[in-house]
């Protein structure tokens, strides 16, 4: 199992749907919610795995869909909006017996990043999606956010990157845009 391979964002809506289907059908609701929440928020898998049932359920009483998360890598506080998938995540969280949002079947703890990787790759194999890893969720968020807004500065801030070029490279935009331009470029046209 090579976890350091060059993972990519999922750039195709059908592949996103195929991943969701494969996670529900061949993995579990837990793994499906992890994928959806990761793609909708851009949080790192390590930060997602630290989330608790209480954090999600409390949002309902506050009537807001923004939660504050301390990112593990940067140690920075970040407000995360989960409105797009809140109802689905809330329904899942409400029925959990665990304090963890992504509980392990082995004791009272969350699943490990390695287990998350295994489940994502299991679904990717069924869905025919290549280059999937734990960063795929965050990169997918970044890719679709950029495609929708073209606001690299805002995305850079959301992802806590130090420079826009890092953000573009992270979500695979520079290579994709270069290839698209080269496909249509000709000196003689």
CA atoms within 13 A on the CB side of 107: 4
The separation between CA 66 and the C-alpha centre of its own chain, rounded to angstroms, equals 16
Instruction: Give me the torsion for CA of 88, 89, 90, 91, rounded to 10°.
Output: 50
Residue 5 token pair: 């391979």
pTM: 0.89
CB atoms near residue 74 (< 10 Å)? 13
- In tens, the pLDDT along 53-106 reads 999 998 887 777 888 888 888 888 888 888 889 999 999 999 999 999 999 988
The pLDDT of residue 5 is above 70: no
Catalytic: 44? Answer: yes
Residues 78/69, Cβ–Cβ less than 8 Å: yes
- In tens, the pLDDT along 24-57 reads 999 999 999 999 999 999 999 999 999 999 999 9
Catalytic: 135? Answer: yes
The CATH homologous superfamily to which domain 13-184 belongs is Intergrase catalytic core (1.10.443.10)
* Selected catalytic residue, list 30, 53, 65, 138: 138
Catalytic: 32? Answer: no
Catalytic: 73? Answer: yes
Domain ranges of the chain: 13-184
* Selected catalytic residue, list 63, 68, 73, 105: 73
pLDDT at 40: 95
Residues 116/34, Cβ–Cβ less than 8 Å: yes
């Amino acid at each position: 199992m090579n976890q350091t391979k060059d993972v990519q964002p999922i750039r195709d809506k059908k592949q996103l749907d195929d991943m969701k289907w494969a996670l529900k059908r061949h993995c579990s609701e837990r793994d499906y919610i992890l994928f959806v929440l990761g793609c909708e928020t851009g949080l790192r898998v390590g930060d997602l795995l630290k989330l608790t049932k209480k954090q999600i359920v409390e949002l309902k009483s506050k009537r807001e869909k923004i939660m504050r998360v301390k990112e593990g890598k940067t140690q920075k506080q970040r407000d995360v909006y989960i409105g797009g998938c809140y109802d689905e995540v809330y329904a899942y969280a409400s029925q959990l017996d665990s304090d963890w949002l992504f509980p392990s079947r082995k004791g009272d703890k969350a699943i490990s990043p390695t287990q998350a990787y295994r489940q994502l790759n299991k679904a990717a194999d069924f869905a025919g999606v290549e280059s999937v890893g734990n960063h795929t969720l965050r990169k997918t968020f970044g890719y679709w956010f950029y495609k929708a807004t073209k606001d690299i500065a805002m995305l850079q801030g959301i992802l806590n990157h130090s420079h826009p070029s890092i953000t573009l490279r992270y979500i695979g935009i520079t290579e994709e845009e270069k290839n698209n331009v080269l496909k249509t470029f000709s000196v003689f046209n």
